[in-house]
Amino acid sequence: MLVVIEILGSLAEVNPEIAVGAVHAFLSFPVRMIPIDERAVETAAGIAFETRVTYDSVHAAAMARANVPTIITEDLEHWGKIRKNWSRVREKTGIELEEIEVVRPTEYQKWKNKQ
């Protein structure tokens, strides 16, 4: 659900009508939503403490919970910090997800072809 909130928030600043359309389009995809509950927020707090990355730590906690190892993002600064510190995060939080891979949207097709 966080992705939908980000789509709405960022696009609404530019054009609220486009934002609404983008939200409807996103929700029309067969997307599996990962619940963000108290446990996920506690895990996110541990990730944030170890990486000094706040909001994206919630995404990382959701990824870990669902065993999703790859994030597609342009936010290389924050995700670079998370990725760089992931082994320490795992040690301190008990997360089982081995690694996080960061893929830029412009590199997705190339990455997908390697899979």
Domain extents for the chain?
Answer: 1-33, 35-114
Mean pLDDT of 76-85: 97
Please compute the mean of the pLDDT values over residues 85-110 and round it to a whole number. Answer: 95
Q: How many CB atoms lie within 10 A of CB 79?
A: 23
Q: What are phi and psi for residue 75, nearest 5 degrees? A: -85, 70
Please calculate the CA angle 56-105-80 and round it to the nearest 5 degrees: 40
% pLDDT > 90, the chain? 91
Look at residues 37, 46, 32 and name the one whose alpha carbon lies nearest to residue 86: 46
